[in-house]
Amino acid sequence: MKPVINGSVFGSMTVEGTKYQHDIYINLNGKVKKRKKKLSKAIYGTSHIISLEEAQYTYEEGARKLIVGTGQFDNVRLSEAAEEFFKDKGVEVQLFPVQEAIQAWNSAEGAVIGLFHVTC
């Protein structure tokens, strides 16, 4: 079951009443995990560009949509390789500033996964 995201402020996100003070990933089963942004930072020197490696880690067989919360100031983007990877897997990627991403997540239906940057 897809968990409800209650809200976010700079540096944290609350999901089903639990506050997370780091970027998060939500899988198809609704489990909240810490985002593996080191996979992107090792390549680009920043976690604001999602690398192919992070995309591959994030992807789950059966996912049809990925909602990306691009931060409070809309800074996160997919690398060209990550974008192509999701396209090849048939996953629709939607990028929104985190407040809009929360709304998109909470109203999304079907096989959706989420990746949320909670700071800049």
pLDDT at residue 4 tops 80: yes
How large a percentage of the chain has pLDDT more than 90? Answer: 98
Q: What is the pLDDT averaged over residues 78-104?
A: 98
Per-residue pLDDT, 1: 74
> For the chain, which residues make up each domain, given as ranges?
5-117
Q: Can you tell me the distance from the alpha carbon of 109 to that of 71, in angstroms, rounded to the nearest whole number? A: 22
CATH of 5-117, one of 3.30.410.10, 3.40.1230.10, 1.10.3210.10, 3.30.70.270: 3.40.1230.10
For the chain, percent helix, then strand, then coil, each to nearest 5? 30, 30, 40
* Strand-strand pairing, 49-50 and 77-78: parallel
pLDDT at residue 94 tops 90: yes
Q: Is the pTM of this model over 0.75?
A: yes
Nearest C-alpha neighbor of 65 from the set 24, 15, 27, 16: 27
